[in-house]
A = this chain, B = another copy of it.
Amino acid sequence: MSAEKFVGEVLGTMILILLGDGVVAGVLLAKSKAFASGWIVITMAWGMAVFAGIAVAGTFTGAHMNPAVTLAVFLDNQVKSTGAFGVDSLLGYWAGEMIGAMIGATLVFLHYYPHWAETEDPGLKLAVFSTGPAIRNMTWNLVSEIIGTFVLIFVGFSLGNATGVNSSIGGALGWGLLVLVIGLGLGGTTGYAINPARDLGPRIMHAVLPIAGKGSSDWEYSWIPVVGPLIGGALGWAVYYYGITEFVAKALGPK
């Protein structure tokens, strides 16, 4: 995989996490002007952060910004034997997404610098970086992450049929609205990581950065928002590929 694609994924994911983790900081950290401004603020920001990230890298890398998306693209190329997206691309994209997420989280740390010391609860500080469950239950938290990411990949891949070109502004907006509605509809349980890099990259930075008054990085939970999205992404791709591409679309074609 080329260095240019790596840089593209880094830059796109950096913007996603800067704006996405940024809104959680704005809503949770003490004295922020966006303090306690609600679920619509958080979900709208994450949706439009996806839009912004695709604007940056969509035309160059497809702007996965999410290892679950990259896994689905990899599976798609494997089953079709295109040879266009092999293991080197899989690993290269994953690395770019992780690096980008870590840079984005660091920028959030800097952007809200004076607010960390003003905030008492260390749990809120972790929540800016990484997700945590509303009710801690490893089995069902995993199910939630699987279902959320299933919807992301299944509907997101379908968007290509509806939009023609994923990298157009229509496609960028479509993916943004999709992440908005996943947040609104399915985010109440685990905070919809639905993206291993979005959760693990910032969690590493939470552990590393000198955040005033920080607490545990909750490593015990950290595998759920990594494993769940990868399973959900693979499932979403499988239902899309065998359900839509191979079954429905082969018979009906675009209407």
A interface list, Cβ under 8 A from B = 2, 4-5, 7-8, 11, 15, 18-20, 22-23, 25-27, 29, 31-35, 37-41, 43-45, 48-49, 51-52, 54-62, 107, 110-115, 118, 134-135, 137, 140, 143-144, 147-148, 151, 154-155, 158-159, 161-163, 167-174, 176-178, 180-182, 184-189, 191, 239, 243-244, 247-249, 251-252, 254-255
Contacts and interface: CB of A to CB of B under 8 A. Distances in A.
Contacts of A187: 26, 33-34
Given A4-B251, A111-B143, A162-B168, A26 B56 contact: no
A255 B167 contact: yes
Contacts of A7: 243, 247-248
B55 A155 contact: yes
Given A33-B191, A115-B134, A249-B60, A147 B110 contact: yes
A241 to B, nearest CB: 13
B39 A33 contact: yes
The 8 closest A-B pairs by CB, nearest first: A26-B188, A22-B185, A32-B188, A37-B39, A48-B181, A45-B184, A19-B185, A34-B188
Contacts of A243: 7, 11
A168 B161 CA distance: 9
Q: Interface majority SS on A: helix, strand, loop or mixed?
A: helix
Contacts of A170: 169-170
A162 B169 CA distance: 5
Given A48-B180, A251-B2, A35 B162 contact: no
A18 B189 contact: no
B189 A111 contact: yes
B155 A52 contact: yes
B185 A18 contact: yes
Most B CB contacts (10 A, CB to CB) among A52, A180, A252 go to A52
30 contacts: A4-B251, A7-B247, A8-B244, A18-B151, A22-B184, A26-B186, A26-B189, A27-B188, A33-B39, A38-B41, A44-B181, A48-B177, A48-B178, A51-B174, A51-B177, A55-B159, A55-B178, A56-B154, A58-B161, A61-B252, A107-B147, A111-B189, A112-B188, A115-B188, A115-B189, A162-B168, A162-B172, A167-B255, A169-B171, A170-B170
Contacts of A135: 31, 114-115, 118
A134 B29 CA distance: 11
Given A2-B252, A111-B189, A186-B22, A55 B11 contact: no
